[in-house]
């Protein structure tokens, strides 16, 4: 079947895509049997001999020699056989070779299309299965195309991977030809096509970077208990060592920051706080809100955590744009409310607790303000409107109205 060159085509594909030999044989035989069934009504009485190594094949049809033909697909008359070879007797099996030309132009086209479709299906299935087993693994690829909503990345085998904008660090910017490192986040099938999604914002990406940079983590001497991130801005990594001789925080940072610096650069200067994990909730809160120094920590029956600290420490506990308190909430898995500890010589009438205004200000607004450390009237009045709006995620008009209510208290 020189015109078709199907075996050569399939062998070349197998060489490039690593399709195993049994699969190759099965697909080729199935493709030919499908076409034979269309042409002769059945393919059960055909022998298909495929030689992958030599790149050729033969197709033989088996028919029973009979006096009167009732089923042309499986029988042949003695009269017709005698024209070719008169040595056959009735009841014997007659074999004749099916030549490639008998398929006709349309049949050849069907075989090619069927084979191409089966090859594509195998390629998709192999790609899906291969990457499904690699979820959570860090991969280095080349940027092939950068669009507004996603980046197309090619792996070392030329497979297409997607890095959506939502999975990119806000300051990420990629050009064609650049290398990018990301974690394999998930693998999906869309319209029968495998879609491999990468991520640079996932906590799993940061965890894998630590495994690559810190041998003690890779060897299991240090365990990462939990990672929380605001991608590109700040992250907190809680670590624990099962060997008392190993300082988990020091090991992760490295001598003069040698280990952590590479990770920070990869994450576009994301600020990474490494803390010692503990099952003691109060101690973990103190470490999570570092560098702020807390006066006291109380865990309420409702699961909320109430933190008291000096007014000068409030901004440190909250962090830039509220990042520190937000990450601490995520790390603890609980709501942390910050309260300012008044000085002993500070008279109570100098300020008023924000909770006292519950009849004039909605409770949810009071809670939003308390979470950023504004638990008294003066703490709200003394901050700029835009800063409160940004930290508490409130409308500026709402903040202006709240400050107006609070100022009226002191004016009275």
End of a domain among 151, 180, 201? 201
Q: What is the pLDDT of residue 88?
A: 86
Q: Mark whether 159 and 117 lie in a shared domain.
A: no
- Which of helix, strand or coil describes residue 30? helix
Q: What is the pLDDT of residue 71?
A: 87
Share of the chain residues as helix, strand and coil, in percent rounded to the nearest 5: 45, 25, 30
Q: Mark whether 153 and 123 lie in a shared domain.
A: no
Q: Mark whether 29 and 112 lie in a shared domain.
A: yes
Is 194 part of a structural domain of the chain? yes
The C-alpha angle with vertex 217 and arms to 212 and 218, in degrees rounded to 5, equals: 55
Is 311 part of a structural domain of the chain? no
| Cross-strand pairs, 186 | 197
Is 161 part of a structural domain of the chain? yes
Q: Which helix (H) or strand (E) holds 186?
A: strand 179-190
CA distances from 207 to 53, 54, 201, 227, 331 (A): 47, 50, 11, 7, 15
Q: Mark whether 118 and 141 lie in a shared domain.
A: no
Number of domains the chain is built from: 2
pLDDT digits (tens, 9 = 90+) for 192-219: 899 999 999 999 999 999 999 999 999 9
End of a domain among 131, 158, 182? 131
Is 272 part of a structural domain of the chain? no
Q: Mark whether 15 and 89 lie in a shared domain.
A: yes
Is 381 part of a structural domain of the chain? no
Q: What is the CATH number of the domain that holds 174?
A: 2.40.50.140
Q: What is the pLDDT of residue 345?
A: 44
Question: CA–CA separation, 186 vs 167, rounded Å?
Answer: 12
Is 340 part of a structural domain of the chain? no
Query: Low-confidence residues of the chain, pLDDT below 70?
Result: 1-19, 52-55, 342-350, 412
Q: What is the pTM of this model?
A: 0.70
CA 330 vs. chain centroid, Å, equals 20
Is 226 part of a structural domain of the chain? no
Q: Mark whether 110 and 160 lie in a shared domain.
A: no
Average pLDDT, the chain: 85
Q: Mark whether 117 and 103 lie in a shared domain.
A: yes
Q: Mark whether 124 and 194 lie in a shared domain.
A: no
Q: What is the pLDDT of residue 346?
A: 47
| Short-list 316, 267, 256, 248, CA closest to 288 | 316
Is 262 part of a structural domain of the chain? no
| Cross-strand pairs, 51 | 56
Q: Mark whether 10 and 74 lie in a shared domain.
A: yes
Q: Mark whether 126 and 138 lie in a shared domain.
A: no
Q: Mark whether 145 and 29 lie in a shared domain.
A: no
CB 178 within 8 A of CB 252: no
End of a domain among 153, 186, 201? 201
- Which of helix, strand or coil describes residue 297? strand
Q: What is the CATH number of the domain that holds 35?
A: 3.30.1480
Q: Mark whether 114 and 139 lie in a shared domain.
A: no
Tokens of 362: 């909605």
Q: What is the pLDDT of residue 15?
A: 57
Please tell me what DSSP assigns to residue 1: -
Q: What is the pLDDT of residue 378?
A: 82
Q: Which residue has the tokens 């991969």?
A: 139
The C-alpha angle with vertex 256 and arms to 253 and 260, in degrees rounded to 5, equals: 35
Residue-range definition of the domain harbouring residue 148: 134-201
């Amino acid at each position: 079947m020189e015109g078709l060159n199907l075996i050569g085509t399939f062998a070349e594909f197998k060489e490039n895509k690593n399709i195993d030999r049994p699969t190759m044989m099965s697909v080729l035989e199935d493709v030919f049997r499908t076409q034979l069934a269309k042409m002769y009504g059945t393919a059960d009485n055909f022998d298909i001999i495929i030689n992958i190594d030599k790149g050729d094949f033969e197709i033989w049809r088996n028919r029973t020699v009979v006096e009167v033909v009732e089923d042309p697909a499986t029988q042949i008359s003695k009269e017709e056989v005698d024209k070719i070879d008169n040595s056959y007797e009735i009841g014997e099996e007659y074999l004749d070779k099916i030549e490639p030309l008998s398929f006709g132009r349309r049949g050849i086209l069907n075989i090619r299309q069927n084979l191409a479709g089966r090859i594509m299906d195998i390629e998709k299935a192999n790609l899906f299965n291969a990457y499904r087993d690699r979820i959570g693994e860090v991969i280095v690829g080349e940027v092939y195309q950068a669009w507004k909503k996603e980046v197309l990345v090619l792996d070392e085998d030329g497979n297409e991977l997607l890095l959506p904008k939502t999975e990119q660090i806000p300051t990420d910017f990629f050009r064609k030809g650049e290398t990018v490192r990301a974690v394999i986040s998930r693998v999906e099938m869309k319209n029968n096509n495998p879609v491999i999604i990468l991520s640079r914002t996932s906590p799993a990406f940061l965890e894998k970077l630590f495994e690559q940079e810190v041998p003690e983590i890779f060897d299991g001497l240090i365990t990462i208990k939990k990672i929380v991130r605001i991608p590109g801005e700040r992250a907190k990594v809680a670590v624990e060592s099962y060997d008392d001789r190993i300082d988990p925080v020091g090991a992760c940072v490295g001598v003069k920051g040698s280990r952590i610096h590479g990770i920070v650069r990869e994450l576009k200067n994301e600020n990474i706080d490494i803390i010692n994990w503990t099952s003691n909730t109060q101690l973990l809160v103190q470490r999570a809100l570092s560098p702020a120094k807390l006066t006291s920590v109380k865990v309420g029956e409702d699961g909320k955590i109430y933190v008291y600290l000096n007014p000068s420490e409030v901004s440190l506990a909250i962090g830039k744009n509220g990042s520190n308190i937000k990450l601490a909430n995520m790390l603890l898995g609980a709501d942390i409310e910050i309260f300012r500890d008044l000085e002993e010589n500070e008279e109570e009438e100098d300020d008023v607790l924000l909770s006292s205004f519950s009849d004039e200000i909605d409770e949810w607004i009071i809670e939003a303000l308390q979470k950023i450390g504004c638990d008294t009237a003066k703490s709200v009045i003394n901050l700029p409107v835009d800063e409160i709006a940004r930290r508490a995620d409130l409308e500026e008009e709402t903040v202006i109205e709240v400050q107006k209510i609070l100022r009226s208290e002191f004016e009275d």
